[in-house]
Amino acid sequence: MVNKMYKVTSTKIKKTGSKHNQILMSIVVCMPILAYGTAMGWISPHRALLMSDASPSGTTFTEEDVSWMASIMFIFAPIAVFLYGVAADRFGRKRALQFVTLPIALGWAVKLVSAHPAALICARAFIGFGSGGGFVVVPLYVKEISEDRIRGMTGTFVIFSQTVGNLLVFILGDQLPFHTVLWILLAIPLVHFCILLRLPETPSYLIKCGKNEETAKVLSWLRSLPPDDVQIKEEMDRLIIEQTTCDPKFSPKLLFADKTAVKAFWVALIVNLTREFCGCIAVLVYASQIFKKASNNEDTSIGLSPNKQSILLAAVQIFGSFLACQLVDRAGRKPLLAVTSVLAGFSMCLLGVWFYLQSVSVYMPGWVPIVALCVCIFADASGLQPLPFVIMTEMFSFQLRGTVATLIMAISLGTDFALLKIFAPLIDWIGYHSTFWLFSIVCLSNVFYLIFCVPETKMRTLEDIYADLDGRNRSKKGVENKIENA
């Protein structure tokens, strides 16, 4: 009787399992992206202090200094993308992640030692180098430890971590002294490095190394199932077949030899670049400056300091990221991305209208730019920012995934540098209103591209996705319709 009851309980465990360990690991490994979020948002609450006579460096920063601080992260990041992309395939995802944390920690340490403009610019170059590697390795790690049913949700953790970093640094910068903030931010990569010492390698990479027994143990822990469970055996078989049919390495030549993979690459690249050119990253880095400009007229001011308004913006971003985690596996990638593109486009357009009316002495309420920016950042966090990463990892095989992630992230980060470097001169040249209207055009144009060119990737096989890209699914449907009509 006892044995019979025991067997029934054991069967239930085999059928259910749990996603808790996968979710926990996905959150932990995203800490380098959280550190990137703190670095990207760090300028906004500290810009006024650095440009004042009370600057901790003893030297008043110029607009040119701030411009280089904002953009320098994205000069070295593309270089890191290639190096870490190769390292992730050669030495493993876990070891590559460990080396991601070191330059980030070094950057914050340099800031603590010296606040001179040259030192801060150099420090942010180190952080950018580590962050570039993080944006290649972290999505790969998260994808390879997650089962298909939750890979959309865990994929959004990458950007959710960045938004948490933005909010954290906005609050810390507004409430704490300059050097106290730096000590806290230095602790993040150091703690992450220590945690990584205890985390396992991804199952896909362990299979590549021929460590089948260790792979089964890792999968067992991740899925909360016994090592001899049929689901574990099936997943092991799938990974072994995947590894025997491909040897993952950084090889652009291999990518561009496959016509359908090239189509997928261009789709993933354009979807990623659209997010860069929608203007959200510039809004986050220069949030305090934009809000200060919007609050210049006392008749339209809402009574909150620019830093407080930036905190509100980051809080909205957190909410959007959280919503993305909940919706991405329910609504699908394509519909959610299209809806958020529309929201971002109209909010940027409204922001441009508000600044234009201000320039011709027609005043609108001070809450208008706050609401417009909040809607834009919400749309960015809930779709425009996380979903390109999810789509990028789902449109390619294990063999090409590292190559594609490396190339796309290098191009995207280089684009970020160009955008942040020209943002201030662009505003001086064509004004705030025209700049935001340009961003709006990019967002709204993206909707049409999504509808006609981007396949849905939610819970679909690679073969099915590529059939969409080649038009084979449409041809098949056309033939079926002809048969039915006949």
Q: Are the beta carbons of 108 and 189 closer than 8 angstroms?
A: yes
- State whether residue 366 is helix, strand or coil: coil
Give the pLDDT score at 188: 92
Q: Are the beta carbons of 393 and 140 closer than 8 angstroms?
A: yes
Q: Which two tokens stand for residue 401?
A: 């995934």
Per-residue pLDDT of the chain (486 residues; tens, 9 = 90+): 334 333 333 334 344 567 788 888 888 898 899 998 898 888 878 888 888 888 887 788 887 888 788 778 878 877 887 888 788 888 888 899 989 999 999 999 999 998 888 888 899 999 989 988 888 888 888 888 888 777 777 777 887 888 888 888 888 888 889 899 999 999 999 999 999 888 888 888 888 888 888 888 888 888 888 877 788 888 787 877 776 666 556 677 888 888 888 888 998 888 888 877 887 777 766 666 677 766 665 554 555 666 677 777 778 878 877 777 677 667 778 888 888 889 889 988 988 888 888 888 777 777 788 888 888 888 887 888 778 877 887 888 777 877 887 788 778 877 877 787 787 788 888 888 888 899 899 889 988 888 888 888 877 778 888 888 887 665 454 444 443 444
Q: Whole-angstrom Cα distance, residue 127 to residue 266?
A: 29
DSSP assigned state of 229: -
Domain limits, the chain: 18-199+246-472
Q: Which two tokens stand for residue 395?
A: 């449109």
147's torsion region: left (phi>0), alpha (psi -120 to 50) or beta?
A: beta
The one-letter amino acid at 241:
I
Q: Whole-angstrom Cα distance, residue 128 to residue 455?
A: 32
Positive or negative, the CA dihedral 313, 318, 322, 324 is positive
Q: Are the beta carbons of 313 and 374 closer than 8 angstroms?
A: yes
Give the pLDDT score at 110: 92
Q: Which of 167, 171, 166, 178 is nearest to 61 (CA)?
A: 178
Give the pLDDT score at 7: 39
Give the pLDDT score at 476: 52
The one-letter amino acid at 230:
V
Give the pLDDT score at 294: 64
Positive or negative, the CA dihedral 93, 94, 97, 102 is negative
DSSP assigned state of 37: H
Topology of domain 18-199+246-472 in CATH is Growth Hormone; Chain: A; (1.20.1250)
Q: In sequence order, which residues have a C-beta less than 8 Å from that of residue 344 and are 6 or more positions away? A: 278, 280, 375, 376, 379, 380, 384, 443
**Residue 222 C-beta-side C-alpha neighbours within 13 Å:** 29
- State whether residue 309 is helix, strand or coil: helix
Q: Are the beta carbons of 150 and 17 closer than 8 angstroms?
A: no
Claim: this prediction has a pTM higher than 0.75: no
Q: Which two tokens stand for residue 59?
A: 């030297």
